[in-house]
Amino acid sequence: MTVYNINLGIGWASSGVEYAQAYRAKSFSKLNIPAKFIFSDLILANNIEDLTANLGFADEQIIWLYNFFTDVKIAPSNYQLKQLEHDLKLANRKHEKAVADNEVQYILNEEGLRIVARFHDKKKQTIDQVSYVSNGVMVKRDFYSYVKYACEYYSGTKDNNHVTFREFYNEDGSIAYTEHLQANQHEIFEFPDQQIFYSKNDLYRAMIKRLDFQADDVIILDRMSEDDKLDNGQIIFEQHQPAKLIVVVHADHYDVHHTNSRNILWNNFYEYSFTHTKDVASYIVATDKQRELFAKQEKQYYHQTPQINTVPVGSLTQLRYSTEPARPHSLITASRLASEKHLDWLVKAVIAARQQVADVTLDIYGQGAEQTRLQKLITDNHAESYIQLKGQHDLTDVYTKYAAYIAASTSEGFGLSLLEAVGSGLPMIGFDVPYGNQTFIDDEQNGYLMPYDNDWSDQKKIKLLTDAIVKMFTVADLKDFGHHSHKLAEPYLVENVAKKWQKVLEEVSHD
């Protein structure tokens, strides 16, 4: 048996889907089940290995569409700068060399050329990208891991430049295939044997066929594309047999505001899979409450009773305990800096709470589009000394340094940071919304689960958060709250989650 996990992209500030896959990899490793993770987005800003290794994936677990048809392996960037200088025969070409923090430039004035090599690791003198600028205009860019694995060619002017085609290479430098980009960004993939794929869908379908799924294999569909260039979900539904197909629901699966007794509006990421239940061996949700609701809805609206299993998307290697007292009245939150996380409410609530708890602080961990707006809000309120944006960090040993965790998100399919926080014994504050807060916050036992109505004003929601902060630090028994958080976390230890996956895989294999 091999388990294939289907995704699209991955980044430094990955979403909960990628973290869920990383946690799942740990469960499969504990069960000694081979697992592969398939990514189909074009990822060239970084060597994909940097991103996957950052989340703990093993290189041999990764399948990337764009190098699948080459013999280049997923591997770290260890191409040496001195090798590049040798390849370019710079010893025989008149040039000036300038080294900066993250790059080295070779200026060849007689050739009207500037070559810019980006360091992957300056100390080790390794590179991962090389740009070629001719008379001020980018003409091509090479990409390196342990060999050069891709190159993109540009056409245009300095102010209006664009990629016209890309080459992907084998280890020996031969061209594995060429990607041609048309004016409308339509892609055509041409292979040396004259085989041509006229769309990314065709290329993806060819990859799936070559994987040659077997009857004892399992495919886990984590993310379906909404991109016009790729319909990976439909392709997986068409091509998965004889393997069994599992669909993971990572978010709230329907829109409550557009649902009535006769019609339901599914989350568009899952609608296709929810209406093709006969192809799905099991749907996976993260909480029992979501499983019960989804089962009820499938029966009510479609008269279907699909297999639905509850498996947490996250797990804990161990429960963590503080080795020293937490900083008094300190709050932590961790998430993407996105508008739906309502981090601005937290900022305003902490500012207000300072009127009653003078030394309360908030550290916000994560990256995202809201960073500039949040920083401005903090600065405008002169709150820099007690509210800080901390960026992206490994928080494994960080949670225990804080007195409590707080979240303002109004919908979490699970909430990995919530799990990590209760696993570190933190008291919790959050709204009574599906599904994560309801799973990890027992009101008055390990924190405060505040009522919530979407129609309430922002001011009312901020007031609820403010009152909960004050109550946490003036009334609550934080020690008792911490004990209860650890108790809630025990079922999510990796050995317990692995057993749930084992049961699911055994059930679908015997269908």
Structure confidence at residue 252 as a pLDDT band (50, 70, 90): confident
Residue 84 confidence (pLDDT) above 80 = yes
Position 503 pLDDT exceeds 70: yes
* pLDDT confidence of residue 508: 93
Give me the mean pLDDT over the 180-192 stretch. Answer: 87
For residue 332, what pLDDT is reported? 98
**Can you give the pLDDT at residue 455?**
92
Task: Give residue 354's pLDDT.
Answer: 98
Residue 8 in this model has a pLDDT that exceeds 90: yes
Burial of 321-332, coded b for 16+ CB within 10 Å and e otherwise, reads eeeeebeebbbb
Cβ burial of 229 (10 Å; 0-12, 13-18, 19+) is middle
CA quadruple 256, 432, 17, 32: dihedral sign: negative
Tell me the pLDDT tens digit for each residue of 120-149: 999 999 999 999 999 999 999 999 999 999
76, pLDDT greater than 70: yes
* Mean pLDDT confidence for 285-291: 91
Mean pLDDT calculated for residue range 481-491: 97
For residue 308, how many C-alpha atoms fall within 13 Å in the half-sphere facing its CB?
22
Q: Using one digit for the tens of pLDDT, what is the confidence trace for 367-393?
A: 999 999 999 999 999 999 999 999 989
State the pLDDT at residue 63: 98
Whole-number pLDDT of residue 401: 96
pLDDT, residue 184, reads: 65
Q: What angle do CA 204, 205, 208 make, to 5 degrees?
A: 90
What is the model's pTM? 0.85
- Answer for the pair 46, 78: CB distance below 8 angstroms, yes or no: no
Backbone angles phi, psi at 121, to 5 degrees: -145, 105
Compute the CA torsion angle 13, 15, 20, 23 (nearest 10 deg).
10
User: Are the beta carbons of 429 and 464 closer than 8 angstroms?
Assistant: no
Residue pair 138/154 in contact by the 8 Å Cβ criterion: yes
Answer yes or no: is pLDDT of 178 > 70: yes
**Mean pLDDT, rounded, of the chain:** 94
Instruction: In whole angstroms, give the CA distance from residue 44 to residue 168.
Output: 11
112 φ, ψ (degrees, to nearest 5)? 65, 35
Q: Which stretches within 31-122 are classed as H helix?
A: 48-54, 65-68, 81-87
Find the range with the poorest average confidence among 182-196, 291-305, 309-323.
Answer: 182-196
Residues 6+ apart with CB under 8 A from 136: 158
Mean of pLDDT values over 274-293: 93
Fill in the DSSP letter of residue 180: E
Averaged over 65-78, what is the pLDDT? Answer: 98
List binding-site positions for N-acetyl-D-glucosamine. Answer: 250, 412-415
d(CA 176, CA 192): 7
Known binding-site residues for UDP equal: 16-19, 392-393
pLDDT at 416: 86
pLDDT band at 241 (very low <50, low <70, confident <90, very high): very high
Residues in the chain: 511
Which residue positions form the known binding site? 16-19, 250, 392-393, 412-415
pLDDT over 90 (residue 172): yes
For the residues 422-427, what does the mean pLDDT come to? 98
CA gap 52, 314 in Å, rounded: 17
User: Which of 159-163, 224-228, 291-295, 361-365 is least confident?
Assistant: 224-228
Sorted by where each starts, the structural domains of the chain and their CATH numbers stand as: 3-69+201-310 (3.40.50.2000), 81-190 (3.90.930), 330-492 (3.40.50.2000)
For range 76-80, the mean pLDDT = 97
